[in-house]
Amino acid sequence: MGNVEGMIGHKKKSKKIILIVLLLFVVAVAFGAKKYYDYLMMPVSSTDTNDVEIVIPNGSSTANIASILKTSDLIKNEKFFVLISRYKKTSSKYKAGTYVLNKSMGVEELMAALIKGGKNKESVTITIPEGYEIRQIADKLKVLKDFNKDNFLKLASDASKYKDKYEFLKDVPQGQGLEGYLFPNTYEVYAESTEVDVIEKMLDEFMKIYDKEIKGKKLYKDFNIHDLITMASIVERETKSDEERPIVASVFYNRLGIKMRLGSCATVQYALGERKPKLSTADTKIKSPYNTYINDGLPIGPIASPGLKSIVASVNPDNTDYLYFVLTDYDKGKHTFTNNYKDFLIAKKSAKQKN
């Protein structure tokens, strides 16, 4: 009897072990399947954000779309894309069109883009030079289809509309616009882009600069972001030399430090609405909150869109005792800097004789 009972016990133990092994196997398979599912749903490359343009022809099946995506290296497995599309019942919702996607998009994000629909393939390249004013930017944007200059200027005239989305606009006084915040750069935009599309694209670019070069940095005395960009816009318009920008910034900060008026010709030009090569005495007396010849401190806002170098120079000006500068090399756009008015007059006289 003992042997029989032992055999029965052994069989029961063996069955239990088999069941445990099978259970572990099922768990392992399920875990592996979940891991593989997650892997297939993830982006091909989470760091590659370069644009990949694809065209989905009219009448394309989900299998055709999956093939196009795989050929462009946007998904890892065609059959999986077809299966997940059927499971989520999105196959019938995909639209034909031209799409600009990238490898950092996961499967769900790609599916959402295909459901939303493609953009018009036609795009244009627009370069906004550093130091441009909003009115000049508007003229550059005329190449866009159906562009409405008046609507653009109206939308750009009220910064409060964008403050919820862009934290760097929080210090812009009520009633002021986006002058200074539409970052100068070369943009690739769809020809059918709206005025809002372009404005937000330029503000998005400014946000990158803000995050990298401004946010969290110690600014001059009680300056806020609006003060900084106002200063950067003056620096931008006062010199063409990147090397001089930190020095020019130091001059204006030094003037503020001793409560001396900035006396910037660039601010007067903005007040006049034209960039005169030479200002008259009457010009410097024009009544305007932007005229730093007659008003103390900074003007009420930026006078142009400063570039990266002017923004960085205004955050990190050189440490000098200069209070004056005068253009002495017209060909190279270089200035002579002095710490007293007498030397300034000498440099100015010398520049006139030389040029």
Q: Is the pLDDT at 269 greater than 80, yes or no?
A: yes
The answer to whether the beta carbons of residues 159 and 177 sit under 8 Å apart is: yes
As to burial, measured by CB atoms within 10 angstroms (0-12 exposed, 13-18 middle, 19+ buried), residue 346 is middle
CATH number at 123-214: 3.30.1490
Cα distance between residue 11 and residue 38, in whole Å = 40
**pLDDT computed for residue 172 by the predictor:** 98
Architecture of domain 52-116: 2-Layer Sandwich (3.30)
Q: Could you tell me what percent of the chain has a pLDDT over 90?
A: 71
The DSSP letter of residue 215 is T
Burial of 153 (0-12, 13-18, 19+ CB in 10 A): middle
SS3 at position 226: helix
Alpha helices, H only, the chain: 2-41, 62-71, 78-87, 107-116, 134-140, 149-155, 195-209, 225-238, 245-257, 265-272, 308-315, 341-354
Q: Is 286 within 8 Å of 306 (Cβ atoms)?
A: no
Per-residue model confidence (pLDDT) at position 349: 86
Average pLDDT of the residues in 227-255 = 97
Tell me the residue type at 135: R
SS3 189: strand
Q: Do the first three CATH levels of 52-116 and 123-214 match, i.e. the same topology? A: yes
Q: What type of residue is 62?
A: T
pTM: 0.69
Q: Considering the chain, what is the average pLDDT of its residues?
A: 90
Lowest mean pLDDT of 21-25, 108-112, 178-182, 262-266, name the range.
21-25
Pick 81 or 352 by higher pLDDT: 81
Is the model's pLDDT at 5 over the cut of 60? no
Length of the chain: 355
What is the per-residue pLDDT for 12?
62
- Each domain of the chain, given as residue ranges in start order, spans 52-116, 123-214, 225-354
* Of 266, 270, 307, the residue nearest 127 (C-alpha): 307
The stretch 267-292 carries a mean pLDDT of 94
